Structure 1
Amino acid sequence: MTENGPDTKKQKMSSSLAQLRKYTVVVADTGDFEAMKKYKPTDATTNPSLILSAAGMPQYKHLIEKAVAYGKKTGKHPVRGEKRRGQSCCRAERSVPSDVTSEWSSKAKISRAYHLAHVGWLPAVVTLEDQVEAAIDKLFVLFGAEILKIIPGRVSTEVDARLSFNKTGSVAKARKLVKLYEELGVQKERILIKLASTWEGIQAAKELEEKYDIHCNLTLLFSFAQAVACAEAGVTLISPFVGRILDWYVANTDQKSFKPSEDPGVVSVTKIYNYYKKFGYKTVVMGASFRNVGEILELAGCDLLTISPKLLEDLDSSTDSVDLALSDKTARKSDLEKVTLDEAAFRWEMNEDQMATDKLSDGIRKFAADSRKLEKTLKDLLAKS
């Protein structure tokens, strides 16, 4: 009521999304620019599956064309010491003498070529496979650069999942992606390199962080052991999955539904968050892979949450209250004890955790499959160009 009678104006309630933002940095889990413009996330994440989906949309055709043109023109230029895929040896060229790159039929020049190969001077041979690899890398970076024009924060760009057990290859690929970003004027502070949370991926991230000041996002994280190893490696950020953990328990146990607070994915991320905060790790936690709004609300207060456009829409259209669920204060009161893991202990803990082992392997296979699909698309376009 007012002095003049009933107040007919209803006070506008804040959306659940707006309330969530008071406690947590909201990240868009999509490659769709329009969704980002609508929900205005701080950061964004991408992966091969999301890029594959976005690449099929007509509004992103120009990015595909740019990537194909880059692949056609550039191909792969090895660096000294790099081993080319499918070859037993390749010591890269620096500046190959012109007489070696022409008229190879001459015996003298063939002899000269063998000598140059022996000392590490090889001409670049650009194959269609090389062009596809260059185009894929460029496409990921083009999407990321466009995303950074929309959001104020950082974008996560993923290293090829097929390098998940190759530390050296992961480091090289990460550095290449960062270089491509820098060529577009994007500073590396706005980039997170995504790596699978295998032992090799975690150690690659450690080297990238310490040696090259490249910040990393460790993904496909399903276990406490993975989280501990990431924290000890000093990585910038981890993406523990929620929904995929729930999927496994629904598929492999007798319990087919869970209250949000008892959701095994929520329980996992809560434990990881509490452990990090209790023991003062700088690595931040970004919950990922959600199946419903309930999971998200149970993690309000987590450093970051990466959310799909569908669930962002659900949160934005809801006015349900959002309460703080995770905090440094409650984390410090937890009864968790400090854990240290070397490689042997890490591998044993993963071996004993069937869910984490299953989902990590499954996630790598799925991302690799989508990478192959994307490669085929670009390979067909390159072959026609």
Structure 2
Amino acid sequence: MSALQQLRTMTTIVADTGNIAAIARLKPIDATTNPSLITKALLQPDNHAMLADMMNRHQGDVDAVIDALTIQIGCDILQLIEGRVSTEVDARLSYDTQATINKALDFMAAYDRAGIDSERVLIKMAATWQGIEAARYLETQNIHCNLTLLFGQHQAIACADAGVTLISPFVGRILDWQKRQQNRQNVPASDDMGVQSVKLIYQYYKQHGYKTQVMGASFRSAEQILALAGCDLLTIAPNLIDELAAMDIEVSRQLSPTMSTDMAIMNKVSLTHEQFSQAYQQDKVTQDLLPKGIDGFISARDELAQTLAAIR
């Protein structure tokens, strides 16, 4: 079996793309999107007529159009996969709990009107304290959440305590940060801060029986992915899925609930808002990458908005 086929026996493989053609070809169980991926997919020249039609139908309301396009892409993806799609809330709401809740409810209502089972949708938001608190409420309403832009252990702890369905630690962005800080071109998986962060989170969750699933994300190489074989889920860009499919090597399981319970027990922690904020202030990686990640998603949305405004 190829490396990809072996990996599928240990881990749920998720396609990290908004490209419908790529999803149709790869046939993943689940799919994740974010504003950058959706913008990249929608700004293809052959989508111009569809975007113009959508603008006319919503009378030039750019925000309404972007929300409608987000739901449309989610519905299109769900026609091609068996599992769930992650749909991301506007990143501009990342520090507003109530606005995040309201947008999530709007999205779920739109999916319901489209005939989509709520169990097939994950509402995705940044793992700020406000985002996590929004997810805490939404999960009580049986709306499942995927907390993204996760770089620190304090974020993971708070997400588990809030009972969120899924977290997405950003492995590759942590590695990028490590390379810049340490002035290194190459970092083996054994020393990769992104890989080690996911392993630590996974161990903590399994040792304490949390139902929150861990989905490694934002990978830079097949080596990073294989170093997390056995993680609950891994969301992978199409080019890396293709690379794994072409690899003829033996894949060894790196993570399992049994392995985690055999390791030294980590203390169970519950964080107050103040403790979460203190941990954030002490975490240089999250301090640097979380705001930049949110700004990047806002910029992607702005790019799409500018294109839509130009075709009115």
Common topology (TM > 0.5): yes
Q: CA 1:213–1:65 in structure 2 vs 1: closer, same or farther (change >3 Å)?
A: farther
The structure whose RCO (Cα within 8 Å, separation 6+) is larger is 2
Equivalent of residue 298 in structure 2, options 343, 362, 368: 368
- Identify the residue that residue 20 of structure 1 maps to in structure 2: 7
SS for the counterpart of 2:39 is: helix
Identity within the alignment, % = 47
SS for the counterpart of 2:58 is: helix
Q: CA 1:15–1:60 in structure 2 vs 1: closer, same or farther (change >3 Å)?
A: farther
Offset of 1:59 from its aligned partner?
A: 4.5
Q: How do 1:310-325 and structure 2 match up within 5 A?
A: 310-325=239-254
Offset of 1:63 from its aligned partner?
A: 4.7
Q: TM-score, normalised by structure 1?
A: 0.79
Equivalent of residue 233 in structure 1, options 140, 153, 162: 162
**Does structure 2 conserve the Cα–Cα contact (< 8 Å) formed by 1:167 and 1:203?**
yes
CA distance in 1, matches of 2:310, 2:184: 46
- Identify the residue that residue 23 of structure 2 maps to in structure 1: 36
In the alignment, residue 293 of structure 2 is paired with which amino acid? G
- Identify the residue that residue 191 of structure 1 maps to in structure 2: 121
**Does structure 2 conserve the Cα–Cα contact (< 8 Å) formed by 1:63 and 1:139?**
no
TM-align CA RMSD? 1.2
- Match status 1:51 vs 2:42: no
Runs of 5+ unmatched residues, structure 1:
1-13, 73-127
Q: CA 1:63–1:262 in structure 2 vs 1: closer, same or farther (change >3 Å)?
A: farther
Once the two structures are overlaid, the 10-residue window that deviates more, 332-341 or 366-375, is: 332-341
- Identify the residue that residue 252 of structure 1 maps to in structure 2: 181
CA distance in 2, matches of 1:272, 1:374: 34
Q: Deviations over 1:120-144 (max 9, x none)?
A: xxxxxxxx5xx11110100000001
Runs of 5+ unmatched residues, structure 2:
none
CA distance in 2, matches of 1:69, 1:283: 41
Q: CA 1:248–1:59 in structure 2 vs 1: closer, same or farther (change >3 Å)?
A: same
Q: CA 1:65–1:260 in structure 2 vs 1: closer, same or farther (change >3 Å)?
A: same
Q: TM-score, normalised by structure 2?
A: 0.97
In the alignment, residue 52 of structure 1 is paired with which amino acid? T
Indicate the structure with greater helix content: 2
Structure 1 residue ranges, 4+ long, deviating more than 3 angstroms after superposition? 58-63
Offset of 1:148 from its aligned partner?
A: 0.3
CA distance in 1, matches of 2:87, 2:309: 21
Q: How do 1:133-212 and structure 2 match up within 5 A?
A: 133-210=63-140, 212=141
CA distance in 1, matches of 2:32, 2:134: 20
In the alignment, residue 294 of structure 1 is paired with which amino acid? E
Offset of 1:45 from its aligned partner?
A: 0.4
SS for the counterpart of 1:156 is: strand
- Match status 1:242 vs 2:242: no
